[in-house]
Chains A and B, each alone.
Chain A
Amino acid sequence: MLEWSSPSIILSTRNYGETDGIVSLLSLDQGLYRGLVRAMGARKNTSIWQMGNFVAAEWSARLSDQLGHFKGELVRANFASISPFPFAYSILSSICSVAESSLIERQPVPDIARLLFKILTFLSLDPQEAEQKAMPQLLRWEVLLLAELGYGLDFSVCKEYGADRAYWVSPKTGKVVTEEMAGEWKPRLLRLPLLFIDETDEGNHQDWYDGLILTGYFLEKHVFYLKNKPLPNARRLLTEKINQLL
């Protein structure tokens, strides 16, 4: 019997039959896993198996190539605290759908998982003020995700020139360049908001929008194009929401 138990974040759920469900979760130690949850639709279970919740998950299967079963105990009910707040909920939906549809199954990604735990904790603690704290974190998480999947942006030039100047990113190579280096090619490059270089910078609406366009471009080009899928709908809606704030 194969089994593991680990703190996990529920990324998505879907019904299977009348009462069971198939759950995707991101485990801190095991990475993205899918499994069957018996009686997911039962009254005592519905509040556990919701997107964004932290659970102490247990997975077991007889053989490694089987889907396996999940059991879980609720650790933090993030869905219930975040869902009444539209902006926080958009961030939650976006981050969970991007993680679920981009990560490779059963491959541990502890850094990705750890930062996701941190972002969702931020969101659930103060969902009304979520945007200021969580949006920069979400953008940095997407850059980390790209790097983890092998398509990281090249920030080496920023170390050389410091954080007090404007930077642009080549859509072709993912290399960051200064404004002077960009020269006449600037209109074709993607703007790199300062929050990607300076951890203390929270950015503004324009920075978040530019950041979403930047990471969205590379996610679409390198990750979702290869999977023959578009960017998740929730991610697109978040970009639209930020665009409306400009």
Chain B
Amino acid sequence: MNTAEKNIPNTKEKGMGMKARRTLGDIAIYIILIIMSIIWLTPFVCIVLQSFRCESTWQVGYVIPQQWGLDNYKGLLETDFVKWYSNTFIMALVVSVLQTFIVLCMSYTLSRFRFKLRKPLMQFMLILGLFPGMLTMIILYRVLKDLGLTMENAIPGLILVYIASSGMGYYISKGFFDTIPMSLDEAARVDGATRMQVFFQMIMPLSKSIIIYTILTAFMGPWGDFIFAKYISFNTSAGMNVAVGLYSWLNKDMIASRYTMFCAGGVIVAIPVTILFLFLQKYYVEGVTGGSVKG
């Protein structure tokens, strides 16, 4: 505040009132924001508009369709897209539930329990986390193949892959749990609550934002995965997720007849994620920053 007041005489010397200066600043900021939002939104708007274009199916040089319609969306229903979509949805749903459960349990344990090797375990996981997951791709493929969880059975296989190492993503929620005073636990324990009761009845209701944040990130992983899904589905349509399935439409033989359907597919893929974020945005921000509060 002090600095602002000190600045006033300076502006007056330049012959400009504070109000005028603020208005000018606002205008500049708004112009920058508008330009940025146009840059950000253009691709999305284009994709949405293209997906409603009915007069042709290939890439064109204009954005506004000449004939509007839902042909592309109807067309999607006749392809394997439905299968890919349900595959992806099942995976994302199962993974988000399981991964959230594992992550929260892990964080609670590391935050509240004191046991031998707790510190070394955390360090070990930190180091493990430094290795890129892609390194394991080939060996994972072999293992899953031997288990019969590739190709048409890729979905359970991929679920395994996604949740396998989820315990290592405990950092943010542990940080959040650390901010909840231990005395709450102790009070509950004195009243005769078990550890589990403490977790479910005391900690969980207080950590809504972090739970939602964990669910969201867990949901997004399988939703957008391409590389693992591509390998493990191994060209088998029944085992593909949307990303891999849609990608198969991009070769030179297909693109001219599938471009607008591809856009429609992209729009449909974006819908659940957009809805999730719209409704849970508030918690998401809390969750991201929650873990950083000093506890």
Partners in one complex: no
Q: Which residues of A contact B (CB under 8 A)?
A: none
Q: Which residues of B contact A (CB under 8 A)?
A: none
